[in-house]
Amino acid sequence: MRVLRSAAQSLAVTLVVVAALCAAAIVLGTAAFGMTVTGALALYFVVWWTALFAVLPFGVRSQSDAGDVTLGSDPGAPALPALNEKAIWTTILAGLVFAIVGWMLPLAGL
């Protein structure tokens, strides 16, 4: 957990971690599950964005809950969204879901 937070402190490190994990998932999809590169990219893209929408609300405190409402913004807006950390968590979750789906596709005859 501490490693993840330290990686999320820098945008450059976050992008490198996310790109490396995405590449590993695509290689897994093509090598282990027999997908084409295009098919693995398409499936991973859909899984990643779906996971992002699932991860976004975790740990969010609104500005009104934090007691620090910025003038001109909605009081329900997040005080500290922690998007870098959520991008890494999304990539980890998407990789797990992608591996499970990739394993199940041949079993379903697809």
pLDDT digits (tens, 9 = 90+) for 54-71: 999 998 888 888 887 888
Give rounded-to-5 percent helix, strand, coil for the chain: 70, 0, 30
Q: What's the confidence (pLDDT) of residue 110?
A: 62
Q: What's the confidence (pLDDT) of residue 96?
A: 96
What number of CA atoms fall less than 13 Å from residue 108's CA on the CB side?
A: 8
Q: pLDDT tens-digit profile of 4-42?
A: 777 778 889 899 999 999 999 999 999 988 889 999 999
Mean pLDDT value of segment 83-101: 94
Q: What's the confidence (pLDDT) of residue 34?
A: 87
Q: What's the confidence (pLDDT) of residue 3?
A: 78
3, amino acid identity: V
Residue 1 has pLDDT above 80, yes or no: no
Indicate whether this model's pTM tops 0.75.
yes
Number of H helices, E strands in the chain: 5, 0
